[in-house]
Structure 1
């Protein structure tokens, strides 16, 4: 379970993100486009093309969480 009190920084990735993107391609965007470490424990929020949904990428130390709302 994700403890929200322990989360670090939250980064919001502006622009549309394809909903078909999976963990590897989202982590690649974080690393190459923004020069940030996807394994840092920060939360990265991506707005999908319909703009009414989000994908979140989070590393908890053991693996990635990919949340879609």
Structure 2
């Protein structure tokens, strides 16, 4: 297991609720844009939680891609 220090990334947002973990980058980016009015390519970190709360997806843009 690897632990990542998210403090070096600046703002970290946890998207509360149940996210369908089958969603891809485009769909998760749309959630960030439309529901939260944030820019998914801002360099901020967005964490999504699955229905069972045992799986997470992270969306992060590093100037080269997600």
TM-score (norm 2): 0.87
Unaligned runs of 5+ in 1: 65-69
Using CA pairs below 8 Å that are at least 6 residues apart, which structure has the higher relative contact order?
2
- The CA RMSD measured in Å over matched residues stands at 1.6
TM-score (norm 1): 0.83
After TM superposition, the runs of 4+ consecutive aligned structure 1 residues lying more than 2 A away are 2-6
Unaligned runs of 5+ in 2: none
2:26 corresponding residue in structure 1: 24
